[in-house]
Amino acid sequence: MVSLTETDAMGNHPFEDLLNEGNNNDTDVELDPVAMPPALPPPIPGQHPEAEQQPEAEQQPQAGHEQGGQAEEAANATMTTTPPTKVSKSFKSIVVFRTDLTKSAREAHPCGVLHFPSGGGHAGTSAEEHAFAWISRQDVPSHLEAVLGHMRRFGFPSEDATFVPYSSRRSWIEKYPLAFPHVHCGEDGRVVGFPYWSGEQHGPAGIRAGGAIPPPVSSS
């Protein structure tokens, strides 16, 4: 067997041609420097590589402009979605005073409020007035007549009066504070007070102007 490292008597290697042929094929290949991609700079610590491709203004939008835009959008939404306030329209409005007694106790209950409405005409005025008088014993005719006569002196006709039975004067005032019964007829039948109205001769305005006040009326 012939070794690849042995030579013949002339000093020639028997496989010199094969060795030379292999060496001739081992040629160095040079790369075109133009075809090689450019070297990238090393990344900055703590920065995402994609951040280099975006401007700084686009990466972090200004917080003030963002909040201002949200507030403006909310205001516009409120203006467009809030319906306008509507008020019912009518050609008359009525105030109703109701008793606090049960149906079985209304007929026999003696005390309550006398409501005197009037269409005007007091002391030459055209104002619509309402007066209220508390009566403790409406079932006693003399007590009732004393209150009606007292109110007639102030221009409130008896035929317009309405009796509303109520549990107590205090309960009525708490329920209807604007319908305060300034005229009072107690258990003894004595009538005191005067209707609180805007007449020129009587009432608080008349007192300040020096108007005359009718004397108290007694049922006795």
Q: Are 205 and 198 in contact (CB under 8 A)?
A: yes
The pLDDT-based confidence of 211 (bands split at 50, 70, 90) is: very low
pTM, to two decimals: 0.53
Residue range 162-201, pLDDT digits in tens: 999 999 999 999 999 999 999 999 999 999 998 875 444 4
The identity of residue 25, as a single letter, is: N
Residue range 54-79, pLDDT digits in tens: 555 454 555 555 666 677 776 666 56
Identify the CA nearest to 133 among candidates 102, 111, 105.
111
The strand ranges marked E within the chain are 112-118, 129-135, 162-165, 183-185, 191-192
- Average pLDDT over the chain reads 73
What pLDDT, on the 0 to 100 scale, is given for residue 88?
85
What pLDDT, on the 0 to 100 scale, is given for residue 167?
96
Q: How far apart are CA 99 and CA 81, in angstroms?
A: 44
Residue range 118-145, pLDDT digits in tens: 755 554 556 778 999 999 999 999 999 9
